[in-house]
Amino acid sequence: MKRIIVFVILIAAFAVACDDSTHYKISGTITNAEEKYIYLDELKVSSSEAVDSVKIGKNGKFEFDGVVHHPTFFLLKLSEKNFITLLIDSAEQVEVAGDAANFSRDYRVSGSEGSSLVQDLNQQLSETKHKLDSIASLHVMFRTDPNYTELKKKWDKEYSDVVQNQREYSQNFVNAHPFSMANVLALYQKFDNDNFVIQDLQSLKTAASALNSFYPESEHVKALYANTIKLMKDERNAKMQQFIQEQGTNSPEILLPNPDGKEVALSSLQGKYVLLQFWASQDRGSRIMNPVLVELYNKYSRKGFEIYQVSLDQNRYEWVDAIDKDGLKWTNVGDMEGSTKAVSNYNVQELPYNYLLDEEGVIIAKNVKGPALDKLLKELLD
Protein backbone atom coordinates (compact mmCIF):
# COMPACT_ATOMS: atom_id res chain seq x y z
CA MET A 1 0.00 0.00 0.00
CA LYS A 2 2.83 2.37 0.86
CA ARG A 3 4.44 1.69 -2.52
CA ILE A 4 1.19 2.65 -4.26
CA ILE A 5 0.97 5.91 -2.31
CA VAL A 6 4.60 6.75 -3.11
CA PHE A 7 3.97 5.95 -6.79
CA VAL A 8 0.92 8.27 -6.86
CA ILE A 9 2.92 11.05 -5.20
CA LEU A 10 5.70 10.65 -7.77
CA ILE A 11 3.19 10.86 -10.63
CA ALA A 12 1.66 13.99 -9.11
CA ALA A 13 5.09 15.55 -8.68
CA PHE A 14 5.95 14.71 -12.28
CA ALA A 15 2.70 16.31 -13.47
CA VAL A 16 3.46 19.48 -11.49
CA ALA A 17 6.98 19.54 -12.91
CA CYS A 18 5.60 19.23 -16.45
CA ASP A 19 3.16 22.04 -15.75
CA ASP A 20 5.98 24.23 -14.40
CA SER A 21 7.83 23.79 -17.68
CA THR A 22 5.30 26.06 -19.41
CA HIS A 23 4.64 28.37 -16.45
CA TYR A 24 6.16 31.87 -16.59
CA LYS A 25 6.27 34.64 -13.98
CA ILE A 26 6.65 38.37 -14.56
CA SER A 27 7.35 40.44 -11.47
CA GLY A 28 9.09 43.67 -10.64
CA THR A 29 9.08 47.12 -9.12
CA ILE A 30 7.84 50.37 -10.64
CA THR A 31 8.40 53.49 -8.62
CA ASN A 32 5.88 56.35 -8.49
CA ALA A 33 3.06 53.98 -9.53
CA GLU A 34 1.88 52.76 -6.15
CA GLU A 35 -1.81 51.71 -6.00
CA LYS A 36 -2.16 52.11 -9.78
CA TYR A 37 -3.00 49.27 -12.15
CA ILE A 38 -0.56 47.62 -14.51
CA TYR A 39 -1.86 45.59 -17.46
CA LEU A 40 -0.53 42.58 -19.35
CA ASP A 41 -1.70 42.14 -22.97
CA GLU A 42 -0.65 39.49 -25.45
CA LEU A 43 0.55 41.07 -28.67
CA LYS A 44 -1.12 39.42 -31.65
CA VAL A 45 -0.24 39.87 -35.33
CA SER A 46 -2.59 42.81 -35.91
CA SER A 47 -4.00 43.54 -32.44
CA SER A 48 -3.49 42.93 -28.74
CA GLU A 49 -5.55 40.87 -26.31
CA ALA A 50 -5.94 41.58 -22.60
CA VAL A 51 -4.47 38.84 -20.42
CA ASP A 52 -4.52 40.18 -16.86
CA SER A 53 -4.22 43.27 -14.69
CA VAL A 54 -3.04 43.79 -11.10
CA LYS A 55 -2.79 46.69 -8.70
CA ILE A 56 0.76 47.77 -7.96
CA GLY A 57 1.52 47.52 -4.26
CA LYS A 58 2.54 50.33 -1.95
CA ASN A 59 6.12 49.19 -2.34
CA GLY A 60 5.82 49.46 -6.14
CA LYS A 61 5.82 45.72 -6.62
CA PHE A 62 3.62 43.65 -8.97
CA GLU A 63 3.44 40.08 -10.27
CA PHE A 64 1.85 38.16 -13.15
CA ASP A 65 2.01 34.48 -13.97
CA GLY A 66 0.68 32.32 -16.75
CA VAL A 67 1.37 29.62 -19.31
CA VAL A 68 2.90 29.81 -22.79
CA HIS A 69 4.04 26.96 -25.04
CA HIS A 70 6.41 28.96 -27.23
CA PRO A 71 8.02 32.43 -27.04
CA THR A 72 5.18 34.96 -26.91
CA PHE A 73 5.09 38.75 -27.24
CA PHE A 74 3.44 40.69 -24.40
CA LEU A 75 2.81 44.36 -23.71
CA LEU A 76 3.34 45.42 -20.09
CA LYS A 77 1.33 48.65 -19.80
CA LEU A 78 0.80 51.45 -17.35
CA SER A 79 -1.31 53.22 -19.99
CA GLU A 80 -1.96 53.05 -23.72
CA LYS A 81 1.11 55.20 -24.40
CA ASN A 82 3.35 54.07 -21.57
CA PHE A 83 4.29 50.43 -22.09
CA ILE A 84 7.13 48.06 -22.90
CA THR A 85 7.30 44.95 -25.09
CA LEU A 86 8.36 41.62 -23.61
CA LEU A 87 9.13 38.32 -25.32
CA ILE A 88 8.40 35.60 -22.79
CA ASP A 89 9.28 31.93 -23.11
CA SER A 90 7.94 29.09 -21.00
CA ALA A 91 9.35 28.72 -17.47
CA GLU A 92 11.02 32.15 -17.51
CA GLN A 93 11.14 34.12 -14.26
CA VAL A 94 11.21 37.70 -15.50
CA GLU A 95 12.11 40.75 -13.42
CA VAL A 96 11.21 44.26 -14.61
CA ALA A 97 12.15 47.56 -12.95
CA GLY A 98 11.51 51.16 -13.89
CA ASP A 99 9.83 54.43 -13.02
CA ALA A 100 6.30 55.34 -14.06
CA ALA A 101 7.37 58.73 -15.46
CA ASN A 102 9.55 57.26 -18.24
CA PHE A 103 8.71 53.55 -18.12
CA SER A 104 8.51 53.06 -21.92
CA ARG A 105 11.90 54.70 -22.50
CA ASP A 106 13.99 53.54 -19.54
CA TYR A 107 13.50 50.19 -17.85
CA ARG A 108 15.53 47.15 -16.80
CA VAL A 109 14.62 43.56 -17.58
CA SER A 110 16.30 40.31 -16.54
CA GLY A 111 15.50 36.61 -16.62
CA SER A 112 14.28 36.71 -20.23
CA GLU A 113 16.72 36.59 -23.13
CA GLY A 114 14.00 37.36 -25.66
CA SER A 115 12.84 40.44 -23.73
CA SER A 116 16.42 41.72 -23.49
CA LEU A 117 16.84 41.31 -27.25
CA VAL A 118 13.56 43.14 -27.88
CA GLN A 119 14.73 45.98 -25.64
CA ASP A 120 18.01 46.21 -27.58
CA LEU A 121 16.15 46.34 -30.90
CA ASN A 122 13.69 49.00 -29.78
CA GLN A 123 16.31 51.18 -28.11
CA GLN A 124 18.60 51.06 -31.14
CA LEU A 125 15.81 52.03 -33.54
CA SER A 126 14.60 54.75 -31.17
CA GLU A 127 18.09 56.28 -31.08
CA THR A 128 18.32 56.06 -34.87
CA LYS A 129 14.97 57.79 -35.37
CA HIS A 130 16.01 60.53 -32.95
CA LYS A 131 19.17 61.14 -34.99
CA LEU A 132 17.21 61.22 -38.24
CA ASP A 133 14.66 63.64 -36.79
CA SER A 134 17.47 65.92 -35.61
CA ILE A 135 19.04 65.98 -39.08
CA ALA A 136 15.66 66.61 -40.71
CA SER A 137 15.04 69.55 -38.38
CA LEU A 138 18.29 71.16 -39.54
CA HIS A 139 16.91 71.35 -43.07
CA VAL A 140 13.93 73.33 -41.81
CA MET A 141 15.99 75.64 -39.58
CA PHE A 142 18.60 76.55 -42.20
CA ARG A 143 16.58 76.41 -45.43
CA THR A 144 17.09 80.15 -46.01
CA ASP A 145 20.77 80.10 -45.07
CA PRO A 146 23.06 81.27 -47.93
CA ASN A 147 25.17 78.12 -47.46
CA TYR A 148 22.18 75.78 -47.42
CA THR A 149 23.18 73.91 -50.60
CA GLU A 150 26.53 72.87 -49.14
CA LEU A 151 25.01 72.16 -45.74
CA LYS A 152 22.34 70.01 -47.36
CA LYS A 153 24.95 67.79 -49.01
CA LYS A 154 26.63 67.28 -45.66
CA TRP A 155 23.37 66.50 -43.84
CA ASP A 156 22.15 64.19 -46.60
CA LYS A 157 25.37 62.21 -46.24
CA GLU A 158 24.94 62.06 -42.45
CA TYR A 159 21.32 60.97 -42.87
CA SER A 160 22.32 58.22 -45.30
CA ASP A 161 25.06 57.01 -42.94
CA VAL A 162 22.65 56.80 -39.99
CA VAL A 163 20.16 54.80 -42.08
CA GLN A 164 22.90 52.46 -43.30
CA ASN A 165 24.22 51.91 -39.77
CA GLN A 166 20.74 50.94 -38.60
CA ARG A 167 20.32 48.54 -41.52
CA GLU A 168 23.67 46.92 -40.74
CA TYR A 169 22.81 46.65 -37.05
CA SER A 170 19.48 44.97 -37.80
CA GLN A 171 21.00 42.68 -40.42
CA ASN A 172 23.73 41.59 -38.01
CA PHE A 173 21.10 41.06 -35.31
CA VAL A 174 19.10 38.70 -37.53
CA ASN A 175 22.24 36.79 -38.52
CA ALA A 176 23.36 36.47 -34.90
CA HIS A 177 20.01 35.18 -33.58
CA PRO A 178 18.59 32.94 -36.33
CA PHE A 179 16.24 31.01 -34.04
CA SER A 180 15.07 33.84 -31.81
CA MET A 181 11.48 35.08 -32.07
CA ALA A 182 12.96 38.55 -31.60
CA ASN A 183 13.79 38.31 -35.30
CA VAL A 184 10.09 38.77 -36.05
CA LEU A 185 10.33 42.24 -34.55
CA ALA A 186 13.63 42.97 -36.30
CA LEU A 187 12.20 42.03 -39.69
CA TYR A 188 9.11 44.20 -39.28
CA GLN A 189 10.77 47.32 -37.86
CA LYS A 190 10.32 50.46 -39.96
CA PHE A 191 11.89 53.91 -40.22
CA ASP A 192 8.42 55.17 -41.14
CA ASN A 193 5.12 53.76 -42.39
CA ASP A 194 6.46 52.65 -45.77
CA ASN A 195 10.16 52.07 -45.18
CA PHE A 196 11.29 48.78 -43.63
CA VAL A 197 14.71 48.73 -41.98
CA ILE A 198 15.59 45.31 -43.45
CA GLN A 199 14.84 45.18 -47.16
CA ASP A 200 16.82 42.05 -48.05
CA LEU A 201 14.42 39.29 -49.13
CA GLN A 202 17.06 36.60 -48.61
CA SER A 203 17.31 37.51 -44.93
CA LEU A 204 13.53 37.33 -44.64
CA LYS A 205 13.48 33.90 -46.31
CA THR A 206 16.26 32.53 -44.09
CA ALA A 207 14.71 33.80 -40.86
CA ALA A 208 11.18 32.70 -41.78
CA SER A 209 12.38 29.20 -42.61
CA ALA A 210 14.41 28.88 -39.40
CA LEU A 211 11.62 30.14 -37.16
CA ASN A 212 9.02 28.01 -38.93
CA SER A 213 11.08 24.90 -38.19
CA PHE A 214 11.20 25.78 -34.47
CA TYR A 215 7.85 27.47 -33.79
CA PRO A 216 5.37 26.36 -36.49
CA GLU A 217 2.39 26.99 -34.20
CA SER A 218 3.26 30.61 -33.45
CA GLU A 219 0.77 33.08 -34.94
CA HIS A 220 3.60 35.54 -35.61
CA VAL A 221 5.74 32.92 -37.35
CA LYS A 222 2.82 31.78 -39.50
CA ALA A 223 2.20 35.38 -40.57
CA LEU A 224 5.91 35.97 -41.25
CA TYR A 225 6.14 32.77 -43.29
CA ALA A 226 3.01 33.60 -45.33
CA ASN A 227 4.23 37.14 -45.96
CA THR A 228 7.61 35.81 -47.09
CA ILE A 229 5.96 33.44 -49.58
CA LYS A 230 3.91 36.35 -50.96
CA LEU A 231 6.99 38.54 -51.34
CA MET A 232 8.81 35.72 -53.12
CA LYS A 233 5.91 35.39 -55.57
CA ASP A 234 5.86 39.15 -56.09
CA GLU A 235 9.60 39.11 -56.78
CA ARG A 236 9.20 36.30 -59.31
CA ASN A 237 6.39 38.21 -61.00
CA ALA A 238 8.56 41.32 -61.23
CA LYS A 239 11.47 39.33 -62.66
CA MET A 240 9.15 37.74 -65.19
CA GLN A 241 7.89 41.11 -66.35
CA GLN A 242 11.45 42.41 -66.60
CA PHE A 243 12.48 39.33 -68.55
CA ILE A 244 9.60 39.74 -70.99
CA GLN A 245 10.46 43.41 -71.51
CA GLU A 246 14.14 42.63 -72.06
CA GLN A 247 13.29 39.88 -74.55
CA GLY A 248 11.62 42.52 -76.73
CA THR A 249 10.05 40.55 -79.57
CA ASN A 250 10.31 37.04 -78.13
CA SER A 251 8.70 35.11 -75.30
CA PRO A 252 10.84 32.51 -73.47
CA GLU A 253 11.28 29.43 -75.62
CA ILE A 254 9.68 26.10 -74.72
CA LEU A 255 10.78 22.82 -76.28
CA LEU A 256 8.87 19.77 -75.00
CA PRO A 257 7.68 16.44 -76.43
CA ASN A 258 4.14 15.86 -77.67
CA PRO A 259 2.25 12.58 -76.93
CA ASP A 260 4.14 10.90 -79.81
CA GLY A 261 7.48 11.83 -78.27
CA LYS A 262 8.34 14.47 -80.88
CA GLU A 263 9.69 17.71 -79.47
CA VAL A 264 7.72 20.77 -80.54
CA ALA A 265 9.03 24.32 -79.99
CA LEU A 266 6.72 27.14 -79.03
CA SER A 267 8.55 29.35 -81.54
CA SER A 268 7.52 26.97 -84.35
CA LEU A 269 4.02 28.47 -84.16
CA GLN A 270 5.14 32.05 -84.84
CA GLY A 271 3.08 33.67 -87.57
CA LYS A 272 -0.13 32.88 -85.68
CA TYR A 273 -1.74 34.19 -82.53
CA VAL A 274 -0.88 31.53 -79.94
CA LEU A 275 -2.56 30.82 -76.63
CA LEU A 276 0.13 29.34 -74.38
CA GLN A 277 -1.96 27.35 -71.91
CA PHE A 278 -0.65 25.59 -68.77
CA TRP A 279 -2.84 22.77 -67.44
CA ALA A 280 -2.97 19.30 -65.85
CA SER A 281 -5.30 16.39 -66.50
CA GLN A 282 -6.05 15.97 -62.80
CA ASP A 283 -6.78 19.65 -62.24
CA ARG A 284 -10.54 20.22 -62.17
CA GLY A 285 -10.28 23.85 -63.27
CA SER A 286 -8.21 22.83 -66.29
CA ARG A 287 -10.72 20.21 -67.36
CA ILE A 288 -13.58 22.70 -67.02
CA MET A 289 -11.65 25.17 -69.21
CA ASN A 290 -10.88 22.65 -71.97
CA PRO A 291 -14.38 22.66 -73.58
CA VAL A 292 -14.20 26.46 -73.74
CA LEU A 293 -10.85 26.23 -75.51
CA VAL A 294 -12.25 23.63 -77.93
CA GLU A 295 -15.05 26.05 -78.85
CA LEU A 296 -12.61 28.95 -79.34
CA TYR A 297 -10.23 26.78 -81.35
CA ASN A 298 -12.99 25.64 -83.68
CA LYS A 299 -14.11 29.25 -84.06
CA TYR A 300 -10.74 30.92 -84.72
CA SER A 301 -8.18 28.28 -85.82
CA ARG A 302 -8.83 28.93 -89.52
CA LYS A 303 -8.23 32.64 -88.94
CA GLY A 304 -4.70 32.26 -87.60
CA PHE A 305 -5.25 31.09 -84.00
CA GLU A 306 -3.31 28.22 -82.41
CA ILE A 307 -3.04 26.72 -78.93
CA TYR A 308 0.20 25.42 -77.40
CA GLN A 309 -0.83 23.56 -74.27
CA VAL A 310 1.83 22.64 -71.70
CA SER A 311 0.96 19.80 -69.33
CA LEU A 312 2.18 19.68 -65.74
CA ASP A 313 1.22 16.01 -65.51
CA GLN A 314 3.51 13.27 -64.28
CA ASN A 315 1.38 10.36 -65.51
CA ARG A 316 1.45 9.89 -69.27
CA TYR A 317 -1.66 7.69 -69.38
CA GLU A 318 -3.79 10.27 -67.56
CA TRP A 319 -2.46 13.03 -69.82
CA VAL A 320 -3.14 11.22 -73.10
CA ASP A 321 -6.52 9.99 -71.85
CA ALA A 322 -7.59 13.57 -71.00
CA ILE A 323 -6.45 14.82 -74.43
CA ASP A 324 -8.58 12.12 -76.08
CA LYS A 325 -11.65 12.57 -73.88
CA ASP A 326 -11.65 16.38 -74.10
CA GLY A 327 -11.00 16.41 -77.85
CA LEU A 328 -7.88 18.57 -77.75
CA LYS A 329 -6.72 18.78 -81.38
CA TRP A 330 -4.03 21.42 -80.96
CA THR A 331 -0.37 21.13 -79.94
CA ASN A 332 -0.03 19.48 -76.55
CA VAL A 333 3.38 18.98 -74.90
CA GLY A 334 4.80 17.86 -71.56
CA ASP A 335 7.79 16.00 -70.15
CA MET A 336 5.74 14.10 -67.55
CA GLU A 337 7.96 15.60 -64.85
CA GLY A 338 5.86 18.68 -64.27
CA SER A 339 7.43 20.70 -67.15
CA THR A 340 9.15 22.62 -64.38
CA LYS A 341 11.47 24.73 -66.54
CA ALA A 342 8.59 26.13 -68.59
CA VAL A 343 6.53 26.67 -65.44
CA SER A 344 9.41 28.56 -63.82
CA ASN A 345 10.21 30.65 -66.91
CA TYR A 346 6.61 31.77 -67.18
CA ASN A 347 6.09 32.14 -63.41
CA VAL A 348 2.99 29.93 -63.36
CA GLN A 349 1.40 30.11 -59.90
CA GLU A 350 -1.98 28.50 -60.57
CA LEU A 351 -3.83 26.25 -62.99
CA PRO A 352 -5.12 26.75 -65.57
CA TYR A 353 -2.99 29.71 -66.64
CA ASN A 354 -2.28 31.26 -70.03
CA TYR A 355 -0.43 33.86 -72.06
CA LEU A 356 -1.58 35.15 -75.45
CA LEU A 357 1.26 35.70 -77.92
CA ASP A 358 1.00 37.73 -81.12
CA GLU A 359 2.30 36.64 -84.52
CA GLU A 360 5.88 37.57 -83.58
CA GLY A 361 5.80 35.77 -80.24
CA VAL A 362 5.31 38.87 -78.11
CA ILE A 363 3.15 38.38 -75.00
CA ILE A 364 0.15 40.69 -75.39
CA ALA A 365 -2.17 39.35 -72.67
CA LYS A 366 -2.00 37.22 -69.53
CA ASN A 367 -4.52 34.80 -68.02
CA VAL A 368 -7.44 35.94 -70.18
CA LYS A 369 -10.31 33.43 -70.04
CA GLY A 370 -13.85 32.76 -71.21
CA PRO A 371 -15.78 35.64 -72.76
CA ALA A 372 -12.85 38.02 -72.33
CA LEU A 373 -10.60 35.75 -74.40
CA ASP A 374 -13.32 35.34 -77.03
CA LYS A 375 -13.72 39.11 -77.28
CA LEU A 376 -9.96 39.67 -77.58
CA LEU A 377 -9.57 37.04 -80.31
CA LYS A 378 -12.51 38.51 -82.18
CA GLU A 379 -10.87 41.94 -82.13
CA LEU A 380 -7.56 40.50 -83.32
CA LEU A 381 -8.73 37.99 -85.95
CA ASP A 382 -12.07 39.17 -87.36
- Helix/strand/coil (H/E/C) assignment for every residue in the chain: CHHHHHHHHHHHHHHHHHHHCCEEEEEEEEECCCCCEEEEEEECCCCEEEEEEEECCCCCEEEEEEECCCCEEEEEECCCCCEEEEEECCCCEEEEEEEHHHCCCCEEEECCHHHHHHHHHHHHHHHHHHHHHHHHHHHHHCCCCCCHHHHHHHHHHHHHHHHHHHHHHHHHHHHHCCCCCHHHHHHHCEEECCEECCCCHHHHHHHHHHHHHHCCCCHHHHHHHHHHHHHHHHHHHHHHHHHHHHHCCCCCCCEEECCCCCEEEHHHHCCCEEEEEEECCCCHHHHHHHHHHHHHHHHHHHHCEEEEEEECCCCHHHHHHHHHHHCCCCEEECCCCCCHHHHHHCCCCCCCEEEEECCCCCEEEECCCHHHHHHHHHHHHC
Same domain, 263 and 335: yes
Predicted pLDDT at 199:
86
Same domain, 231 and 272: no
Judge whether 177 lies within some domain: yes
Q: What is the mean pLDDT of residues 119-126?
A: 96
pLDDT category of residue 4 using cuts at 50, 70 and 90: very low
Measuring CA to CA, which residue among 324, 272, 264 is closest to residue 294? Answer: 324
Domain boundary among 187, 208, 241: 241
Is the pLDDT confidence value at 195 over 60?
yes
Query: Is the pTM above the cut of 0.85?
Result: no
Judge whether 154 lies within some domain: yes
pLDDT in tens, 224-234: 988 888 887 77
Is the pLDDT confidence value at 7 over 70?
no
Same domain, 68 and 149: no
Same domain, 266 and 181: no
Predicted pLDDT at 64:
97
pLDDT in tens, 290-346: 999 999 999 999 999 999 999 999 999 999 999 999 999 999 999 999 999 999 888
Domain boundary among 88, 111, 134: 111
Judge whether 78 lies within some domain: yes
Predicted pLDDT at 250:
53
Judge whether 364 lies within some domain: yes
Residue 71, domain CATH: 2.60.40.10
Domain boundary among 182, 209, 241: 241
Same domain, 375 and 312: yes
Same domain, 68 and 143: no
Same domain, 57 and 77: yes
Is the pLDDT confidence value at 213 over 60?
yes
Q: Which domain holds residue 342?
A: 255-381
Judge whether 6 lies within some domain: no
Residue 296: count other Cβ atoms within 10 Å of its Cβ: 18
Q: Sign of the CA dihedral 361, 364, 366, 368? A: negative
Predicted pLDDT at 21:
64
Same domain, 220 and 291: no
Judge whether 246 lies within some domain: no
> How many domains does the chain contain in total?
3
Q: What is the mean pLDDT of the chain?
A: 89
Same domain, 102 and 148: no
Give the bridge partners for 62, in sequence order: 28
Residue 355, domain CATH: 3.40.30.10
Same domain, 98 and 133: no
Judge whether 16 lies within some domain: no
Is the pLDDT confidence value at 11 over 50?
no
pLDDT in tens, 41-57: 999 998 999 999 999 99
Judge whether 5 lies within some domain: no
pLDDT in tens, 219-265: 999 999 888 888 877 776 666 666 555 554 457 899 999 999 999 99
Same domain, 224 and 131: yes
Same domain, 198 and 303: no
